[in-house]
Structure 1
Amino acid sequence: MPIEIDETNQRCTLISDDMHVQGEAKDVEVITDAELRMSVAVLKGERVPITEQEADALTVAGAVDGRRHLKASEPGSVI
């Protein structure tokens, strides 16, 4: 799992092979990466691809939900 959420203090950690960044959940933005066709968590300029379940958990913890739905009318959409 590329994220850890401490629900007692609303802090989270984004984890990848070469990065480990921590911050408050409210400072995390969850966005849709159209090229990857998945959600990405952004904290302190670092981006980590995440599952929709992880995206939902982050937004419940207080992260900003900037996701958008890809549509069939958009070039490259899988929908």
Structure 2
Amino acid sequence: MTVRIENQTCFFTTENGELIRLCPDVTIITDGAMAMSAVDIEGERIYITEAEADALTVAGAVDGRRHLKATDSGSVI
């Protein structure tokens, strides 16, 4: 798991170490090209699972995900 959540604080494990943010300061996005959820922190895109995205929203992160449809370009469906 790349994300750990404690007391509304998110800890993201990356190749360059750990990035720490308050969950309400994090926005979850959808990367249509990769068909995955992600967060952008300090210019670094961190891909997360849907379970991690859901856990972040419960902890207060902003859910900026969009659902891909078969008619959307970039959809894997």
TM-score above 0.5 = yes
1:3-47 per-residue CA deviation (whole Å, 9 max, x = no partner) reads 1100xx311111111242101000111100001110002334432
Q: Give the gaps of 5 or more residues in structure 1.
A: none
Aligned residues: 77
Cα distance in structure 2, aligned partners of 1:46 and 1:19: 12
RMSD: 1.3
1:73 to 57, 71, 74: 71
TM superposition score normalised by structure 2: 0.89
Cα distance in structure 2, aligned partners of 1:29 and 1:71: 21
2:54 to 38, 53, 56: 56
Per the alignment, do residues 19 and 35 of structure 1 end up closer, same or farther by CA in structure 2, a change over 3 Å counting?
A: farther
Q: Give the gaps of 5 or more residues in structure 2.
A: none
